[in-house]
């Protein structure tokens, strides 16, 4: 099979969800995901995501590259670092990041996710 280019402009029905109640901090955000690409290993994903306003807890097991195309978001780590991103801002959330994701203005992002099959921390040999 010949690999083909995957345009994100293709018509695709989104998956619609909300953060689980045990992670929700504020608001009633509705999220939509258009996953346009998954590789054969089921470790790499790329697509578009949108959310209405709200705030929820996150704990990343994957590495994610984000490009905000509309709206504004704020990420706050459990250690207290705070980042605000808006249209045109690109950033990476590394595996192991824990904190909160807040949508300050309804937003859209383009994402690329790599989910490693290697554990974050090797078990200690005790």
pLDDT digits (tens, 9 = 90+) for 35-74: 999 999 999 999 999 999 999 999 999 999 999 999 999 9
125 lies in some domain: no
CATH number at residue 35: 2.60.120.10
Provide the residue range defining the domain that includes 54. Answer: 16-114
Q: How many domains does the chain have?
A: 1
| pLDDT at residue 121, as a whole number | 52
For the full predicted model, state whether its pTM sits above 0.75.
yes
- Beta carbons of 111 and 48 less than 8 angstroms apart: yes
Instruction: Say if 8 falls within a structural domain.
Output: no
- For residues 31 and 17, the answer to whether their CB atoms sit within 8 Å is yes
* In-domain check, residue 9: no
Structural contact between residues 62 and 118, judged by C-beta atoms closer than 8 angstroms: no
Q: Is residue 3 part of a domain?
A: no
């Amino acid at each position: 099979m010949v690999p083909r280019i995957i345009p994100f402009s293709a018509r695709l029905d989104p998956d619609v969800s909300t953060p689980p109640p045990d992670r929700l901090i504020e608001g009633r955000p509705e999220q939509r995901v258009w996953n346009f690409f998954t590789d054969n290993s089921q470790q790499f994903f790329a697509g578009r995501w949108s959310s209405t306003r709200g705030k929820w807890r996150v704990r990343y097991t994957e590495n994610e590259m984000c490009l905000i195309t509309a709206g504004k978001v704020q990420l706050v780590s459990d250690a207290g670092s705070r980042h605000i991103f808006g249209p045109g801002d690109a950033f990476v959330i590394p595996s192991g990041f824990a904190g909160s994701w807040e949508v300050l203005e309804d937003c859209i992002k383009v994402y690329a996710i790599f989910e490693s099959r290697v554990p974050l921390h090797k078990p200690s040999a005790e």
